Amino acid sequence: MMESKLESIKKILLEKSSTKQLVFRNTKQVFEQLKEIMKSLTNELTNEIYKVDPSVEIKFYDKGELELHLKFSGDTLVFMMHTNVFDFDPNHYIQKTSYVKEDPMREFCGMIQIYNFLADSIKYNREGDMGFLVGRIFVNKEKHFFIEGKRPLAFLYNDFACCTINEVTLRNVIIEAMYYCLNFDLLAPPLDAINYITVEQKNLMSFSGGVPTGKHLGFRMETENEAGV
């Protein structure tokens, strides 16, 4: 009995655990590719826009091994890589694809999340401000990927069997995310929400440059599958 369990442990380690390690390495490589593409795109946009209006800032910030920031005017995209590898619910659509059915190890994915923050939220460290999930990129052992999140990202990149990582694709993902964010502007908070403030809130506002806030990006996540999304 113990020997059979030991054999099962060996099999799991050689198959599933080995696959997860490969997935992690692949996801890390994709994250490094994103970093280089974001640097290049920052230089490209800066060279073009600075000639017309030098006050419009496009900046890239390397925040360490697992976080990257791309600031463009009043918005910042934050890319965050998760260190774990994920499986999916049996009802998830990728489980029904022939691509995953042919090899169940293909379903294990690393995850890179993309959040949109107001640039001032990060600049002034307004801890109460919210960032909104634009999308999350899932990468598997073969560097196939799909994206869950806002349209058009989730619509363009939902074919797990056909979507593969390359520089052109990653550049397009970044551009789509930037375009999406730029088309949703900050709305003034309702009057009733700011009728009264405490001294503590006043001090915080003076220190951080404004009331706690965040853009509402206007659409539900693609995975919610609700009418009108």
Q: Output the six-digit token pair for 35.
A: 């970093």
Res. 4 pLDDT band, cuts 50 70 90: confident
Q: Is the pLDDT of residue 206 over 70?
A: no
Closest CA to 82 of 156, 39, 133: 133
Res. 212 pLDDT band, cuts 50 70 90: low
- The HSE-up count of residue 213 (CA atoms within 13 Å, CB side) is 19
Per residue in 25-77, pLDDT (tens digit) is 999 999 999 999 999 999 999 999 988 999 999 999 999 999 999 999 899 99
Res. 151 pLDDT band, cuts 50 70 90: confident
Q: What is the pLDDT of residue 195?
A: 63
Q: Is the pLDDT of residue 222 over 60?
A: no
Res. 91 pLDDT band, cuts 50 70 90: very high
Q: How would you classify the pairing of strands 75-86 and 109-118?
A: antiparallel
What is d(CA 2, CA 95) in angstroms, rounded to the nearest whole number? 32
Per residue in 104-123, pLDDT (tens digit) is 999 999 999 999 999 988 99
Q: What is the mean pLDDT of the chain?
A: 84
What is d(CA 28, CA 18) in angstroms, rounded to the nearest whole number? 16
What is d(CA 121, CA 209) in angstroms, rounded to the nearest whole number? 9
Q: Is 140 exposed, middle or buried (0-12, 13-18, 19+ CB in 10 A)?
A: buried
Res. 129 pLDDT band, cuts 50 70 90: confident
Q: What is the pLDDT of residue 113?
A: 97
More confidently predicted of 212 and 225:
212
